[in-house]
Amino acid sequence: MNAPAPANLAIPAVSLTLKDRLDQKLFNALYARSLVYNTCWEDPAVDRQALQLGADDHVLVITSAGCNALDYALQGPARVDAVDANPRQNALLELKMAAIRGLEFDEFFAMFGEGWQPQIKTIYRHRLREQLSPFARHYWDQHYKWFASRHGSFYFHGLAGFVARGFRSYFRLRPALAADIEQLFAAPDLATQRTIYDQRIAPALWTPSIKWVLGRQLTMSLLGVPHPQRRLVQKQHPDGIAGFIREAIEYVFRELPVRDNYFWRVYLTGRYSRDCCPSYLQEDNFLALKAGLVDRIVCHDATVTDFLLAGESPISRFVLLDHMDWMSSYYPAALHEEWAAIFKRAAPGARILLRSAHAQPPFLEWLTVGPERQPLTARLHYHTALAAHLQQQDRVHTYPGFVIGEVTADD
């Protein structure tokens, strides 16, 4: 991944301070040893409108927690390749796929909806374990107890779950705030929701101690946010990362109905409900996946570049999340390499989705591709208006930048 740059690449100089290098080492150490994401933090309802999946589409998605790979499979594309350089993320998707194949719906929802399955030892050993790859089997042999742990939910485990567990402990010390949050998610309309947030939640939530915790790079690293992304946010927001997070949360809780916002529900409570959960946790969709759609997903432990260079079949849809932010800071040569591999495998008219901590990702301006060093604008048509419209609907709202690019003909 960290390959030397060919001499003809126009790569901006990257000046890393000692603090940058220490933050990088911390993030890499956490990433290399841990399950980072226990649930996806990209809204697939937005992605579905952007991707416009059809029966012939071949999708590449960075796995993360696998929720969205399952969501895309429910749209019926020909194939979904879930690719992640962290094999623990694929191990989680493999466990979900094994559970879809091997469990009844109520058993499955207990595991991944409620995050609590008291029969997990028997279920894992006798009905799931043998379906897993060697790495996933070894990983879950050590961690299946997360589904029946003293912390009360699978979703309080992994790095992001550790931070969620910290907030749960804080809410236990503030029972009135916890009750107000429950009422927020039960609000019958947006006006009631805004009143609850403005009058009862915001004054109690945004304390100096919470702002201090959110401003720490360690907190961001546990949430999977490396220092380059934090720096991008700080450049755009006068109140830094804590101010940006407050602004994002206030948009969600004041401007969007939260009754179906399963992202923030699971983060704040540790569980989904039957009527507020990802699509793969709805019974009809679970049965559709079990009937064969889950078999369209294939997991790959690899970088995006390595996966792309290992095959030849055209890919029509790319869902690349936000990893290009930190690549552009730490591994700009590898980012050039990845884009070259993308265009090598992209089908005519392929759509590429990516997210960024910057409203207008700077690397889109300086990246060039091909022997003639064409700018990305020469190879991609950006659906700017559609992206801006969909960004307003995003129920997570923690990414300022959402990009929809369509591959144009290579003249």
Q: Per residue, what are the HEC states of 62-122? A: ECCCCHHHHHHHCCCCCEEEEEECCHHHHHHHHHHHHHHHHCCHHHHHHHHCCCCCCCHHH
> Over 50: is that where the pLDDT of 7 sits?
no
Mean pLDDT of 26-49: 86
- In this structure, what token pair is assigned to residue 188? 């019958």
Look at residues 108, 148, 150 and name the one whose alpha carbon lies nearest to residue 127: 108
Least confident stretch, 13-17, 188-192, 193-197, 226-230: 13-17
Q: Check residue 3 and give its pLDDT.
A: 36
CB 271 within 8 A of CB 152: no
Q: Which of 407, 409, 410, 402 is nearest to 49 (CA)?
A: 402
d(Cα 47, Cα 53) in Å, to the nearest integer? 10
Is pLDDT above 50 for 310? yes
Q: What is the mean pLDDT of the chain?
A: 88
Distance of alpha carbon 107 from alpha carbon 269, whole angstroms: 20
The model's pTM: 0.89
pLDDT of residue 198: 94
Report whether 68 contacts 319 (CB < 8 A).
Answer: yes
The pLDDT value recorded for residue 359 is 83
Picking from 146-160, 221-235, 281-295, which range would have the lowest pLDDT averaged per residue? 221-235
Q: Which of 84, 87, 155, 88 is nearest to 116 (CA)?
A: 155
Domains of the chain: 18-152+279-407 (3.40.50.150), 170-269 (no CATH)
pLDDT at 274: 95
- Is 123:107 a contact under the CB 8 Å cutoff? yes
Say which residue, 55 or 222, is predicted with more confidence.
55
pLDDT at 22: 67
Q: What is the pLDDT of residue 368?
A: 87
Q: How confident is the model at residue 329 (pLDDT cuts 50, 70, 90)?
A: confident
Mean pLDDT across 359-376 = 86
The pLDDT assigned to 23 comes to 66
Taking the C-alpha atoms of residue 27 and residue 197, their distance in angstroms, rounded to an integer, is 33
Question: In sequence order, what are the residues at sequence separation of 6 or more whose Cβ sits closer than 8 angstroms to the Cβ of residue 163?
Answer: 219, 222, 223
**Closest residue by Cα to residue 294 from 108, 119, 156, 49:** 108
Most confident of 7-16, 136-145, 214-223, 257-266: 136-145
Q: Once rounded to an integer, what is the mean pLDDT over residues 198-224?
A: 76
Residue 411 pLDDT: 47
Q: Please count the CA atoms within 13 angstroms of the CA of 386 that sit on its side-chain side.
A: 16
In this structure, of 2-11, 146-155, 250-259, the range with the lowest mean pLDDT score is: 2-11
In this predicted structure, the answer to whether residue 44 has a pLDDT above a threshold of 90 is: yes
Residue 354 makes CB contacts below 8 A (sequence gap 6+) with 320, 321, 322, 324, 361, 403, 405
**pLDDT reading at 145 higher than 70:** yes
CA distance 52 to 40: 20
| pLDDT given at position 235 | 67
